[in-house]
Amino acid sequence: MEEIPESETEAGVATMPITARRTAPSVDVCRELEQFLFEEADLLDTWQFDAWLTMLADDIHYWAPVRENLFHRQRKNEMAAPGGSAHFDETREHLAERVDRLKTHQAWAEEPASRTRHLVTNIRVFETDNPDEFEVESSFYVFRTRSERDFDSVVGKRFDVIRRVDDSAYGFQLARRKIVFDMAMLLVKNLSLFY
């Protein structure tokens, strides 16, 4: 299939090479992957972070590049390139360290803990050259409330590569995630959550 350069995709937002004709897997596989994402959202909202870590592949790349507000003629450059500015640019080890820190109850951004609701929608699934890996795009809305008056929300889109791992607890593992926030300036007090 003919590959479309990332610079030619919408606002340079596409995370991975997009083929001209992407093929969706079977309805059953799409349903399995949707359930995987819904299960992940529930684990994050209920602070079951150790279980969430089991959903991550050892080689995961968890990345949220910074974006800028640019004029139309420059929009293809609005996303920071790999290796550039990022809100997150983490490996599984980094994510596990963040989870361990939360469990100390001395991560003051989360003490008292936030209550969150991860809403995941607009899920689209595509096959890849690897029969055990799937490109999965989804939109998200994360609402957080903390203490009595603090609340915020973050909206964006995720570009995932999810790998089938039959002997894993959830049947799949997240191998790559690119998080594209809809806002260039994140009006939240911290980035202690996972998206």
**What pLDDT digit, counting tens, does each position of 157-180 carry?**
999 999 999 999 999 999 999 999
Residue 2: pLDDT above 60? no
54 pLDDT above the threshold of 60 = yes
pTM above 0.75, yes or no: yes
Q: Does pLDDT of 155 surpass 50? A: yes
- Partnered with residue 180 across adjacent β-strands are 157
CA 114 – CA 131 distance, rounded (Å): 38
Cα(45)–Cα(16) distance, integer angstroms: 28
Residues 6+ apart with CB under 8 A from 159: 14, 15, 16, 135, 136, 137, 176, 177, 178, 180
Question: CA–CA separation, 77 vs 164, rounded Å?
Answer: 33
The string of pLDDT tens digits covering residues 95-139 is 999 999 998 888 888 888 899 999 999 999 999 999 999 999 999
Beta bridge partners of 134: 127, 162
What is the spatial distance between Cα 195 and Cα 156, in angstroms, rounded to a whole number? 9
Instruction: Provide the strand spans (E) within the chain.
Output: 3-4, 18-19, 56-65, 86-90, 115-127, 133-146, 150-164, 172-181
Half-sphere exposure of 23 (CA within 13 A, CB side): 9
> How much is the pLDDT for 20?
57
